[in-house]
Amino acid sequence: MMQRIHDLIGGNPSDSVAVIADDGRSYTYGDLDRISDEMAQMLRVHGVRGGDRVVLLAENGMTYVAAILAISKVDAWIVPLNARVTERDIDTALAHSDARCILYTVDDSSAAQAHATRVGGVELGTLDCGRIVASPARDVAVEPVVTGADQVAALFYTSGTTGAPKGVMLTHANLIFVATATSRIREMGDNDVVLGVLPGTHVYGFGAILLPVWDIGATIRLMPRFDARRVLDALQDNVTLFPAVPQMYAAILKELHDTGVDHVETPLRVMSSGGAPLDPHWKSEIERKFGVHMDNGYGMTEASPTISVTRRDDLRQDTSVGLALPGLEVVLRGITEDGAGEICVRGPNVMKGYYKDTDATAKAITADGFLKTGDVGRIDPDGAIHIVGRCKELIVHSGFNVYPAEVESALNAHKSVVQSAVVGRERAGNEDVLAFVTVSGDVTEAELRSWMRENVVSYKIPLHIVLVDSLPQAATGKILKGSLTTIFAEMLSQMDTEKDA
């Protein structure tokens, strides 16, 4: 029985290709095991002990992949951070995790190199994957190390889009459970090549993409940053599985539209979406242009991350996120008149808790062991789950419940809309519905408003439809809705004035 995430690679043939780096270089599972062994020894010499926390400041590359294994082999906790975060983000995570040191993937990321230079990074040596650079070791306490799989493997900091980031403790058992379940449900094989363009420092790229690849002995082709043109080129090469967030599919559709391409021939057999609500228009257009069915899934950091996925033997035409993983219990609590309620999940994927925050843990996990997701959903009689929205994102306008995803879906169905984000704004004892939209081509707010009148009930029509050049996004492509009204405050103020005039 596997006790650590580095055990996932143990049964794979040493000569099978494990990683294709962005420069085209291939590394076998034998290479991966050897390099991670060498890196683990470097970390030990640097002073890293079992139970220490190690911040992995990285972008996708071979050093990042090997570092995950190396830190696991030392029995330390991996604290993944995207190298493009701010100095403040790093300092906050470093202080809260009380990490022994930071490991920088300097040869795969200029941003990581810049951060290493700022703190006086120490070069521990050079391996086949590049230079290994770490910050000086700090005098910190170690956490207990247990022999079983309940040892903490990784500490993920949530994005903080709805509040202060919290450190999510995921155990080896949590992550191994999701990795093995995912590889089987996706019917992955050792001949598959998975495009890893989602940041590996995010729980989606880490737990739902990389670890399932290791479990089945497949190959991951790494790309450090998303670029629609480069992704399209890769998909037409040797990639068989492409997992992404909906916003990436929107950007791909825009690239195809701008270049006049209506059909793409690829060796793909699986395209999947997760991380945010999947728009039905994007789904149908991707399926039409690629001739491949799009799977959908649902999860969150606290669930390691996967809760449910659609099945290969049930090619759904709706945007359901599928059935719960085998072994999980999913229930709705606080069900409203429209049949929706908060999704709660119990099973081997649920986090150990929030690091150094027992109060927050108690609020998130009920006394009977259910994780309260904060997401609103409905469940079909056959068990298929549908995500309606976030509890905190629900807009109550004139007494009616408005779920942003429904409004976004109607906007995105317009031929000129690339992406949209809908939020609520409290004003005069009511909540306004506000939409922020990026478009291609010439289209006015009046035209979009007319479109909405034809496609949604009146109370769901946004007070303002704000046309913007771009929407603020996290590294995964997830739109940072919490900052929209602040970033576009001046435009909103002007539109309020014009409407009141």
pLDDT in tens, 297-319: 999 999 999 999 999 888 899 99
What is the location of CATH 3.40.50.980 in the chain? 5-9+27-176
**Cα 382 from Cα 385, distance rounded (Å):** 9
Angle at 354 between CA 353 and CA 356, to 5 degrees: 120
For the structural domain made of 395-500, what CATH number should be given?
Answer: 3.30.300.30
Predicted confidence (pLDDT) per residue in 456-497, tens digit: 888 899 999 999 999 998 887 888 898 999 999 999 999 989
Q: What is the mean pLDDT of residues 386-399?
A: 81
Q: Please name the residues in contact with 322: beta carbons below 8 A apart, sequence gap of 6 or more.
A: 295, 296, 297, 298, 308, 309, 310, 311, 314, 316, 384, 385
Q: What is the mean pLDDT of the chain?
A: 94
Q: Please name the residues in contact with 31: beta carbons below 8 A apart, sequence gap of 6 or more.
A: 18, 128
Q: Please name the residues in contact with 446: beta carbons below 8 A apart, sequence gap of 6 or more.
A: none
Alpha helices in 47-171 (DSSP H): 62-74, 87-97, 110-119
Of 209-213, 291-295, 392-396, least confident by mean pLDDT is 392-396
Task: State pTM to two decimals.
Answer: 0.86
C-alpha distance from residue 416 to each of 438, 444, 447, 448, 450 (Å): 9, 10, 10, 9, 14
pLDDT of 160 higher than 50 = no
Predicted confidence (pLDDT) per residue in 14-65, tens digit: 999 999 999 999 999 999 999 999 999 999 999 999 999 999 999 999 999 9
pLDDT value, residue 150: 97
Q: What is the 3-state secondary structure (H, E, C) of 364-376?
A: HECCCCCEEEEEE
Rounded to the nearest 10 degrees, the angle between the axes of helix 246-258 and helix 228-235 is 90
> By percentage, how much of the chain surpasses pLDDT 90?
82
Secondary structure element (H or E) that encloses residue 174, with its range: helix 172-185
Name the band, by pLDDT with cuts 50, 70 and 90, for residue 161: very low
Cβ-based burial of 285 (10 A; exposed 0-12, middle 13-18, buried ≥19)? buried
* DSSP-derived secondary structure letter, 158: P
Q: Is 169 helix (H, G, I), strand (E, B) or coil?
A: strand
5-9+27-176 CATH pick, 3.40.50.980, 3.40.50.1820, 3.40.50.720, 3.40.50.150: 3.40.50.980
pLDDT value, residue 162: 42
- 148 neighbors 183 (Cβ within 8 angstroms): no
Most confident residue range from 70-84, 395-409, 455-469 = 70-84
Task: Identify each DSSP E strand in 311-355 by its residue range.
Answer: 323-324, 329-333, 341-346, 353-354
Of 128-142, 350-364, 417-431, least confident by mean pLDDT is 417-431
What is the location of CATH 3.30.300.30 in the chain? 395-500
The residues that bridge with 154 in the sheet, in sequence order, are 78, 170
Residue 325: CA atoms inside 13 Å, Cβ hemisphere, count? 28
Q: What is the mean pLDDT of residues 395-411?
A: 84
SS3 content of the chain, % helix, strand, coil (to 5): 35, 25, 40
